[in-house]
Amino acid sequence: MNIDFQFYIKKLKEQFSNVSIRDIKWLVADILQTNSQINIDISLEQENLILQKIKQLNNGKPLAYVLNWTPFYNCKFFIDENVLIPRFETELLVEKIIKYANNLNQNLHILDLCSGSGCIGITLQKNLNCKVDVVELSENACKIIKKNANLNNSTIKIIKSNMFDKISQKYDIIVSNPPYIPTSDIETLDPSVKNFEPKLALDGGPDGLDFYRIIAKNSFKFLKNNGKLFLEIGFNQANAIKKLLEPNFFEINIYKDLSGKNRFIQATNRGKL
């Protein structure tokens, strides 16, 4: 049947009041594979699928999990509840690394720790045309990384490892967006996060710093002299993480996100063993 797009969106909004207009439009456009905002052709099968998925949105399930994909930087990633949904803040981290790398006249080798969906490593590999290894412990996440590498025609190397356990070489850049939520804070998160996103990708231990301690203690061993470490951090963790890094790194710089919150750290390897 042929139906007015805006009327259809309005009707769905009246029926599913918990869902935003933005998410309804995105869902309908994705299922119908159309950008039309005027008249749309919709089959009974498509309408049933829309209703099925919009009920999931109405129950609080994030759009990326309902659609099973999300845009990130200039790529598209398959997403399910085995991996964290990539955030805009992480796009800023990727952008920072790309700007740094574009000023270097060399072939880079990058390590992406706690890779999740692979969004950081794959995006860097695509945009810098360099060698990228991604490390992930979860078997299900590794399968998703492989799927996303194929989806984006990326030549990353996937290493199933508990952090540095299976790493044996040195890199120009190590990047990580590790779990950094304190365990006791997880229950206070928005329901769309705590009820759907994997706790393995959220829980950073009692103070949220468990993974940063591992990174601070080990990453310098796997960086070339003057190699760079890039981290995404919790907004209130900058000073504590800087202190962890100081024995093995210098030029430790803290950067803010677009909300003015401390969100990223860039540090340079001292080059000692």
Tell me what pLDDT residue 38 has: 81
* 240's tokens: 């504590």
Mean pLDDT of the residues in the chain: 95
Q: What is the mean pLDDT of residues 107-120?
A: 97
Q: How far apart are CA 119 and CA 112, in angstroms?
A: 10
Tell me what pLDDT residue 272 has: 57
Higher pLDDT among residues 5 and 250, named by residue: 250
Contact partners, residue 88, CB within 8 Å, separation at least 6: none
For the stretch 166-222, pLDDT in tens is 999 999 999 999 999 999 999 999 999 999 999 999 999 999 999 999 999 999 999
Given a contact cutoff of 8 angstroms between Cβ atoms, the answer to whether 88 and 64 are in contact is: no
Output the CA–CA distances (angstroms, integers) from residue 173 to 12, 33, 99, in the order listed: 47, 39, 13
Residue 1 pLDDT grade (very low, low, confident, very high; cuts 50, 70, 90): confident
For the stretch 90-102, pLDDT in tens is 999 999 999 999 9
Domain extents in the chain: 2-59, 81-269
For the stretch 129-150, pLDDT in tens is 999 999 999 999 999 999 999 9
SS3 of 240, please? helix
Q: From 253, 176, 158, 184, select the one nearest 218 (Cα to Cα).
A: 176
SS3 of 269, please? strand
Tell me what pLDDT residue 111 has: 98
Output the CA–CA distances (angstroms, integers) from residue 259 to 56, 83, 88, 92, 256, in the order listed: 30, 25, 11, 12, 7
Whether residue 273 is predicted with pLDDT greater than 60 in this model: the reply is no
Question: Hey, what long-range contacts does 78-81 have (CB within 8 A, 24 or more apart)?
Answer: 78/117, 78/144, 78/147, 78/148, 78/151, 79/117, 79/144, 80/144, 81/196, 81/197, 81/198
Q: How far apart are CA 170 and CA 133, in angstroms?
A: 11
Q: How far apart are CA 110 and CA 214, in angstroms?
A: 18
Q: How far apart are CA 140 and CA 192, in angstroms?
A: 21
For the stretch 47-84, pLDDT in tens is 999 999 999 999 999 999 999 999 999 999 999 999 99
Residue 112 pLDDT grade (very low, low, confident, very high; cuts 50, 70, 90): very high
User: What distance lies between CA 70 and its chain's CA centroid?
Assistant: 10
For the stretch 13-40, pLDDT in tens is 999 999 999 999 999 999 999 887 788 8
Residue 16: how many other CB atoms lie within 10 Å:
17
* 146's tokens: 């492989």
Given a contact cutoff of 8 angstroms between Cβ atoms, the answer to whether 83 and 144 are in contact is: yes
Q: Is the dihedral of CA 194, 176, 131, 253 positive or negative?
A: positive
Per the confidence metrics, is the pTM higher than 0.85? yes
Tell me what pLDDT residue 227 has: 96
Partner residues linked to 138 by β-bridges: none
Residue 36: how many other CB atoms lie within 10 Å:
10
For the stretch 224-270, pLDDT in tens is 999 999 999 999 999 999 999 999 999 999 999 999 999 999 999 98
Q: How far apart are CA 2 and CA 232, in angstroms?
A: 47
Question: If one looks up domain 81-269 in CATH, what number appears?
Answer: 3.40.50.150
